[in-house]
Chain A
Amino acid sequence: MEDQHHQTIKRLHWYILILILAFIGLAWFIFNNQYDLVSKFKDLNLIKDINNQSGFNRKNKGSISIKSKEDLRRYRVGQPINLQVFGDSVGEDILSFDVLIEYDKQAFSTPVIITNLPRYIIVTSERDDYISITGAQSPGSDERSVFDGNEILNMTFNSLKVGKYEIKIVSNKGEETTGFISTTSQSLLPQTSSFKVEIY
């Protein structure tokens, strides 16, 4: 009888362990749903390398890439998507640049776009299916602006509906092109990239 009771207790420990594990699993499920922690733990959603995230589609001098500030690829409807645009001017001192951003206007409201580049002003213009951004350094500035992979634009998109979408920096739209222009009047047509996002 004593031995049987001991066995029962021993099994009870296993059952309790199973219950604890199930509870932890359930808690993790709920927590992840709430805060999307999976993106922090799984490589699926963690963006470690911009080049892996971006599909370069031009091979010219310099590059412009885009990534999410939160390192996420999945966002809830209404959750702000903070995107950073990085520029590489391969050593050229840049006076002005143009960036053309293509996105689904049914899926996102008009983004808020700012630049943190010192003494730069940006002007955005909305077109049918893209936004044209021109950044220009204020005249008379002695500061050099060699883009070496630093952030040149910061964009906040607000999603409106679920689905999988792509926010692309496009090389050209009609006669308009994405590019830099240097102090030596050299026009650079950089490689461009895109950002894929899932809205749920």
Chain B
Amino acid sequence: MAQEFASDNSQNGLFSRLKLSNHRGFFSFIFVTLSIIFILITFAAVQQQQTTQSKADTNLCPYFSCNNYVSPGFTSGTANKLKCDNHVCCKSTLLDVNVYKCNNDTNGRLYCKNFNSYTESQKEGFCKSFPSTCEWTSSRRCIETGSNPPATVACAQDGEIINRISNPNQLCCNGLPGERVTGGPGSQIKCVGNSPASSTCVKEGVSFDVREGKNCCPSSESGPIVKLVTNLPNGSTRGTCDRETPILGAQCLTDTGLPIGTCGTTSDKLYCDSRVGTCLSCDGTVTNDNKCSTVVNPNLCATQAGPGVLYYCDAQNQRVPCDDNSGSCLKSSVVGQDLPSSGTCNYGGTNGTWKSGLCSGVPNVKCCSKGTTNPPPPPPPPGSDGGDPIVIQPPTGGTGNVELDLKLAFQGIVTLPKTKTQLKIKVKLVDDLNNVKVNNDTIFTANTSGIWSGIVTFSDVDLSKKYYLLIKGPMHLQKKICDANAADPNPDSAGYYSCQFGNITLRSGVNVLPGGVNPFDFSKVTMLAGDLDQNGFVNREDTEPLQSALLLEKDQRKSSAILEKLDLNLDGIVEPKDWDLMLAALKIKYDEK
């Protein structure tokens, strides 16, 4: 009975039911097992793939180039270091005393949702800059593409009340934060329309007084990046919020070269922020290379009339605001000046003689000695109030011989040099078609302030074109200068003036501005010293001679042979100061072209 029971148990058990004891049951078992394993493997592989993909798409930090975040990659001083360290994707590394490099933080993480903490005008742009990773939702939130969006909640129309506790994801349809409901629970928000009377922002097309402290409302429409800006004429207190559409064609790239989209150019005030590869509204000037120049150089003033010119250079080369607010600046407070004040004509003529194009006022005014009355100004342009016009001569066209009174500053030289007061400088004049005229023979002479002056001449210059200059000293990197009265961004960034397109117009003869101002005073642009072998870049073959010389005794470091080649600041001895100058040049490294 017991045996029969056992046998029954065996026959009725799980394995017996599977009939494992025969071939058919065995292969069935193997088939089912392998199928399960296959399914599990497939599931695991898919899961793994999704995980990898999610990781790659989620963290946006690899798309940032911290090296260029604090231009040009190296930082000195705590402000730049803080700027680097405050970026979620970057961290600074100490390279030398007070010299840092802004590196990508390998632990840095930036996600699409982080953009929601940016300002209203920025977060949409940032979010749409990563179309493969981030998605801009109708509720004006940035979420990860493919991730589960917050539970869909219909946006609240004007007048509706949102309960922040029960519906934390619900937003006002107008994209505004709404007003806190008074008298009720503090968690309730009432959506209100964005009319000037009830909102802090101003709708498109509505005129308003900027002194009220209001801003234009951000666009709530999806699609191409648009900005609502205040087209406020200079000096006016009333503005209108208008839509500006980017001009297609200017491609916006991240610093890593990833194409993001297109931005506008100079006219629409949108610029490309290559750090994140997005189009942003520029408070300053949008440059030709699609960058935003928000730093207003107090010494920068216009040398030629035209739309958008707000400041003019006066006779002392100081900024003077334009009198009119039309944006054209056809006149300014600058009036014609007698030239020169010393009574001696320094610009090609002699005292009391006349020379074309040297004085302010009108075209073809001649060089006048002190006390000479300027010719009467031309009639004021239509619509102006008849004030004294400033007339900047446009390019005359044709060809001619030009003289440029260049003033240069070389790195480390701030007083009269001890060993040399004259240097032969190479100057190239390049037009917008890259036609080059070369002058390698001009001798420049130093003054007691360490400013080097020289008259550079070029013959048969096409006066209808715009030019830039390439200037290279005997131990220096070549500098590209595109603008009259160019200057380094600030005293702490000597050598960091840079430009792309030539913007210098010339005329026949000596080129000076009205009032005798020399537009070719580049003494605020530092020429970096370090290219000892003059091969166009600073490398080990430039650093080694200086390193070796610094191991010599002091007397040897004063020898003429050493000074001739290695005394970068011309102070009569090769010393660690020269090494510091070399390092500064090494950071730029290449001739500008």
The chain A residues found within 8 Å of chain B, CB to CB, are: 1, 4-5, 7-8, 11-12, 15, 18-19, 22, 25-26, 29-30, 33-34, 76-78, 80, 95-98, 105-106, 109-110, 112, 114, 121-126, 132, 134, 136-137, 139-140, 156, 158-160, 175-176, 179-181, 183, 185, 187, 200
Contact = CB atoms under 8 A, between A and B. Distances in A.
Contacts of A137: 547
Given A110-B256, A137-B547, A175-B535, A125 B10 contact: no
Contacts of A175: 535-537
B148 interface: no
B585 to A, nearest CB: 10
Nearest to A126: B67
Contact of B106 (A22, A158, A185): A158
B44 A96 contact: no
Contacts of B587: 123, 125
A115 to B, nearest CB: 9
B20 A11 contact: yes
16 contacts: A1-B10, A15-B20, A15-B33, A19-B33, A25-B37, A29-B41, A76-B55, A95-B543, A95-B544, A96-B540, A121-B95, A123-B74, A134-B543, A156-B106, A176-B539, A200-B52
Nearest to B586: A123
Interface string B252-272: 000111100000000000000
Contacts of B541: 181, 187
Contact of B55 (A78, A105, A181): A78
A134 B535 contact: no
Interface in B568-593: 576, 579, 583, 586-590
Nearest to B535: A175
Interface in B5-62: 7, 10, 15-16, 20-21, 26, 29-30, 33-34, 37, 40-41, 44-45, 48, 52, 55-56, 59, 62
B52 A77 contact: yes
A158 B104 contact: yes
Most chain B CB atoms below 10 A, which of A19, A78, A137, A185:
A78
Contacts, number: 154
Nearest to B255: A110
B251 interface: no
Contact of B63 (A1, A18, A95, A109): A109
Contact of A30 (B44, B537, B579, B586): B44
Interface in B523-552: 535-541, 543-548, 550-551
B589 A125 contact: yes
Contacts of B62: 78, 109, 158-160
Given A109-B64, A139-B550, A77 B20 contact: no
Given A77-B56, A123-B74, A124-B67, 20 more contacts: A1-B10, A12-B15, A12-B20, A19-B33, A22-B34, A26-B37, A26-B44, A30-B44, A30-B48, A95-B547, A109-B64, A110-B67, A122-B95, A123-B587, A134-B538, A139-B546, A156-B106, A160-B258, A176-B539, A185-B544
A184 B384 CA distance: 72
Contact of B56 (A15, A78, A114): A78
B544 A96 contact: yes
Contacts of B7: 1
B48 A160 contact: no
Contacts of A134: 538-540, 543, 586, 589
Interface in B75-119: 93, 95-96, 103-104, 106
B503 interface: no
Nearest to B10: A5
B505 interface: no
B278 interface: no
Contacts of A1: 3, 7, 10
Contacts of B3: 1
Given A105-B257, A121-B96, A11 B26 contact: yes
B472 to A, nearest CB: 15
Contacts of A98: 539-540
The interface residues of chain B, by DSSP majority, are classed as helix
B219 interface: no
Contact of B15 (A8, A80, A140): A8
Nearest to A185: B544
Most chain B CB atoms below 10 A, which of A7, A95, A137, A159:
A95
Nearest to B52: A76
A180 B541 CA distance: 9
Going nearest first, the 6 A-B pairs with the smallest beta carbon separation are A96-B540, A77-B56, A139-B550, A112-B103, A125-B589, A181-B540
B20 A180 contact: no
B543 A8 contact: no
B73 interface: yes
A7 B16 CA distance: 12
B44 A29 contact: yes
Contacts of A22: 33-34, 37
A21 to B, nearest CB: 10
A139 B579 contact: yes
A126 B274 CA distance: 15
B55 A77 contact: yes
Nearest to A106: B257
A34 B209 CA distance: 60
A123 B45 CA distance: 43
Contacts of B103: 112
A66 B159 CA distance: 66
Contacts of B37: 22, 25-26
Nearest to A7: B21
A4 B540 contact: no
B106 A76 contact: no
B586 to A, nearest CB: 5
Contacts of B63: 109, 160
A132 B586 CA distance: 11
Nearest to B536: A175
Contacts of A95: 540, 543-544, 547-548
B68 interface: yes
Most chain A CB atoms below 10 A, which of B67, B538, B583:
B67
Contacts of A77: 52, 55-56
Contacts of A76: 52, 55-56
Contact of A132 (B33, B576, B589): B589
A139 B255 CA distance: 34
Contacts of A159: 62
Given A4-B21, A121-B96, A160-B256, A109 B65 contact: yes
B48 A33 contact: yes
A159 B540 CA distance: 30
Contacts of A8: 10, 15-16, 20-21
A106 B30 CA distance: 48
Nearest to A79: B55
B140 to A, nearest CB: 28
B12 to A, nearest CB: 13
A92 to B, nearest CB: 12
